[in-house]
Amino acid sequence: MNNYYALVMAGGSGTRFWPLSRKRLPKQFLRLKDGYSSLIQMTHTRLKNTFSPDNIYYVASAEYSKLIKNEIREIDESNIIVEPLPKNTAPAIGLSAAMIHKRDEDAVIAVMPSDHFIQNETLFSEVLKVGYKVAANDNIVTIGITPDRPETGFGYIKKGAELETIDGISVNGVEAFIEKPNRQKAIEYLSTGRYLWNAGIFIFTAKKILSEMGKLMPETLDTIFKVRDLIGKDPKKAEELFSTISSISIDYGIMEKVSGIRVIPADLKWSDVGSWGAIRDILPKDEYGNVNIGENILIDCQDCVIRSEKKTVAAIGMHSVAIIVTDDAVLVTPLEKCQDVKKVVDELDKIGKKGLI
């Protein structure tokens, strides 16, 4: 498996994790609690079970490349692919695949986010190895997370029939990629057992993804090849060219339009750490279901997330709320509204308080 590469998407801004996550230090570089590694360090540690450190690549904008190097000291700077501009996941993956393909024409690449939490790391490694075997036969593979609740914050994958079993792990066809559902639909999806959460993890050969991009996004791919050859030689020209590319996700641009994709269902005990509500699934809770980070006082509180490491928060009679305190901001929200925290960031941008973003 010397031709097996990991590509970690490390450019996200983590706006739903405000006020802790900021543009200058987004979610993937944060420690959820004292004594924990950052999310990106956790990701790197997981990947070392399957990949040589030389074959682990990170893609992000220039402003995050130094943060990546500080967090992952064992990788070489050449393993950090710098996007000239943020243009969503399809251009980022296309540029990265083009650069890795230049190094190794037979490269098989596993693409994943940098800021997810996976408890079942042994199964994750086993699934990645099966995914490699399937992708090496000119297939695009995705990993679908077995859902344990009717979640409205994730996209879904409708799995088809089982196509094969490799090393005891099932590989299924994909019937459809589905956008985030309302609660009624999410309950229905959970009850059928045919729907999986879309974790944004894909495995394919560099040749395959570049071929599909050439069919579906030919102008984008043409520009990507030009940008690849300019990076390191003429950064200004590379940025000018990259700026002409349309911003589009890999799901919209490619995955929803390609037939024959495989999915590997996996119960990874996974979280995208996408909101403060997700913290309850990750960090230790007290007997009342509260996550209390800091020396805070909770009286008659249940299922809350309280984080204040410098100031003492006293909360009385709070149920299912998040109270997050930083040096310059306080967030108070019902946990069921955590997905709306991004709206706060948008509002701060509108009123010109960019120092808080």
Question: Comparing C-alpha atoms, which of 158, 172, 154, 177 is closest to residue 256?
Answer: 177
Boundaries of domain holding 314: 276-356
pLDDT digits (tens, 9 = 90+) for 172-206: 999 999 999 999 999 999 999 999 999 999 999 99
Domain final residue, candidates 256, 271, 286:
271
Rounded Cα–Cα distance for residues 249 and 198 (Å): 13
Instruction: Say what angle helices 89-103 and 206-216 make with each other, to 10 degrees.
Output: 130
* 274 has a pLDDT exceeding 90: no
3-state SS class at 218: helix
Identity at 294, one-letter amino acid code: G
The mean per-residue pLDDT over the stretch 254-279 comes to 95
Q: 191 and 54 in one domain?
A: yes
Count structural domains, the chain.
2
What is the per-residue pLDDT for 339? 85
Q: Under 8 Å CB-to-CB from 5, ≥6 apart: which residues?
A: 51, 55, 56, 57, 100, 104, 107, 108, 109, 110
pTM for the structure as a whole? 0.94
What is the per-residue pLDDT for 33? 82
Q: 230 and 125 in one domain?
A: yes
Q: 331 and 255 in one domain?
A: no
Q: 291 and 148 in one domain?
A: no
Rounded Cα–Cα distance for residues 325 and 344 (Å): 15
